Copies of this chain bind each other. A is one copy, B any other.
């Protein structure tokens, strides 16, 4: 699928992109023989995304083109980033195609020299965060995303791969630049004086209090250690509800440019934190009490079901002893071995849940106090109302971080939510 020409990188605009795509046979065939139009629709920080469409009424099919820019868009040209991240995104999308067919957009064409990928256009899908804010629910979502995390993480962990195969993959997928963004913007800068931090002006006191909370700072530093050192599995690396596209019956995972070997709890915790942020934001976004209660119950259930699906699928994979993992079937071949093996699997998953709580706690806090907030909070125009929600979120995050070791079931994550909001 790769374009082997060694043309020099250039950032496309809508016009130059169409000329470029016309020269790529597989793409031209899909778009068909009409006058194409391209619209830049990206809202990410480091890439541009185009929808390229054939003329209305013609026989072609639209495609999506994503191109990495050589800088971080939100910060302007003075924050250079290499385009290396597109290499990671392409590798991840192709891996998803193998491991979880249908859970990511299909890859049509890749052009590493342009840091560009042409993908299936998901006409019926929406980025999940918006519809969630509007109170819509997605009955298949928890099963889909839980399976996605389980399958992709298990297959890239030491439980499935031999030591040498795993280490080779860790080297190939080392992603220092994108990891550094998360290190700084999730784990460090929000917790200290740093010029790019932004927050709700009504939150000044809370931010000062959080940053002077010794126990919380210690727990966040430990969460950062786990993020930095635990090469457990090849993660998505930015699995919030803006990296998920949904319909009533389908779920697609997009934007895996942050993919790296990290703790599984980072992906799950990021998702759980964003579900909880969304949940609390319905106090504003869903004024009707009954509708709001229904949405909150769905979000709570979604969190628990995502974990349960993840844990079930991960555990099933492990029981099959496929591949060449760390403890082969023979390791458990003794009287009482099946029970010990079950105990081992449960213990492993219990630790992933603990990690999810502490990683998710940092994700929640950074969305209040760091450089990048989320639409759920940013869209609230009443700063005092927003601060009430954010104050509760900070208290929940504190529980997730400080009581992580006591969280033994996914429901315990919700106990913290319910006790804080009263």
A218 with B326, Cβ < 8 A, contacts A229-B230, A331-B192 known: no
The answer to whether A174 touches B163, judged by C-beta atoms less than 8 angstroms apart, is no
The answer to whether B326 touches A158, judged by C-beta atoms less than 8 angstroms apart, is no
A344 at the interface (CB under 8 A from B): yes
Chain B residue, CB-CB nearest to A262:
B229
Q: Which of A12-20, A27-35, A90-98, A177-185 contacts B (4 or more CB under 8 A)?
A: A177-185
Q: What's the minimum C-beta distance from A191 to chain B, rounded to whole angstroms? A: 6
Count of this chain's copies in the oligomeric assembly:
2
Residues of B within 8 A of A214 (CB): 334, 336-337, 339-340, 343
The answer to whether A222 touches B327, judged by C-beta atoms less than 8 angstroms apart, is no
A221 with B180, Cβ < 8 A, contacts A158-B229, A167-B174, A188-B331 known: no
Q: What's the minimum C-beta distance from A370 to chain B, rounded to whole angstroms? A: 14
The answer to whether B163 touches A168, judged by C-beta atoms less than 8 angstroms apart, is no
Pick from B176, B211, B326, B336: contact of A183, CB below 8 A.
B326
Hey, which bits of chain A sit against chain B, CB under 8 A?
158, 162-164, 166-168, 170-171, 174-177, 179-180, 183, 187-188, 191-194, 211-212, 214-215, 217-218, 221-222, 224-225, 228-232, 326-328, 330-337, 339-340, 343-344, 347-348
A-B contact pairs, 26 of them (CB 8 A): A162-B180, A164-B176, A166-B228, A167-B176, A168-B176, A170-B170, A171-B171, A171-B174, A188-B326, A188-B328, A192-B331, A212-B334, A212-B335, A212-B336, A214-B334, A214-B337, A215-B340, A217-B337, A217-B344, A218-B340, A218-B343, A221-B344, A222-B348, A225-B326, A229-B231, A231-B231
